Structure 1
Amino acid sequence: MREQTFIIADSDCTNRNSLARAVSEFGYVIPVDTLEELGDRWPDNAWLIVADEGGQLREALACLNRSGQFYPIVAYSAKPQTARVVDVLNAGCAGYLEWDGDAQELRHRLEAIRVRGEQRASRTVSQVRAQQRLEQLTKREFEVLESVCEGRSNKEVATVLGISPRTVEIHRANVFNKLGVRNIAAAVRLSVEAQLGSGSLWGSQREMAL
């Protein structure tokens, strides 16, 4: 495994230091009690390893969202339940590490997680950026965008939403401005990038159910 920066977040200093010592054999480690300790000193291209105990994973995700940081996330605990691992991975984490203090398999496990994560990295980053742009829209603007992406004319959108065609034009112009696009084709491409059809973008788009 090539040199990599790892942030290890765990309020249990014994577990945190034990894992940090093992990981430091093949990477640069930043051990913290919580991510709030980083302040504005967020490293570039880091991996985040977070203890999946007592809500620490949820708190870490919330801190990342507030700070606008996006790292591959690996959750860990000593004896995770299968159902919990599935939930965490489905929520978007790059991997789940079973850590009981044995460093022998750690390098291999993290390398496997890293390789899988890098294979998805470019797609994930572009998707997140597209989602961030869409999150700037108001609910009405989002509805206009959805209708436009479905091929409806301004008049048809107005009928569906119960507003005037002129109001649709205003919302459409605002959508283009916020998304940084100049035409419908570009808006559609960005919407597809963010998986607009998944129905998960409006509201707490990046809120993981953990």
Structure 2
Amino acid sequence: MRETTTPGLRMKTRQAVTQALTDTALELFDTSGFDQVTVADIVAAAGISQRSFFRYFSNKEDVVFGDRIPSAEEVRAELLRHLDGNPPWEALRRTFRAAAVQMDEDTGHWKRATRVICHTPGLRARYLEKHLAWTDALVPAITPRLGQEAPEARLMTQTMINTALGCFDVALMRWSDGDPGPSLAALVDDVFGFVRFPDA
């Protein structure tokens, strides 16, 4: 009788191969530099063909970003969870702390990915594009809660969100270069604690 592979098993296998390729590529990027590593280098280290590589990733950039960085919609949904009963600045802290807790659960992957992104201008630019998308998604959720007249409320909201993103980036960079160092969640708490917004 011919054996068949269930869709669930195929998905697990694909996830395992994707994870293995990502780990191999990130180690190379972190050691040698993103721009110096080619797809040929990655597949040689992973023991697969280039054709197989492109079944899983469109390009090198997708290896770094994949689908693990939250979308704007996911970040907004997390913020809305924390806005009930909390001032906007505290809700933002809790939102980014939730992301930090998840990243702390896979420290090796995220520290390497963060270092690669921070040290590669092209990847840094793509990451900042995600920041802009997050800002656009979060502004409408926070602005009505500040109790100020527009456009002042929108201006304060944009300032607050961009400050939160800056705080998260500072915590990320310190965390990714520290070994072992404090957890990312702890660093997020520390950095956000340096900033105060009136009535927020």
Please indicate the TM-score interval, normalised by the length of the shorter structure: under 0.3
**Higher strand proportion:** 1
Which structure ranks higher in relative contact order (CA pairs < 8 Å, sequence separation ≥ 6)? 2
**Higher helix proportion:** 2
Larger Rg: 1
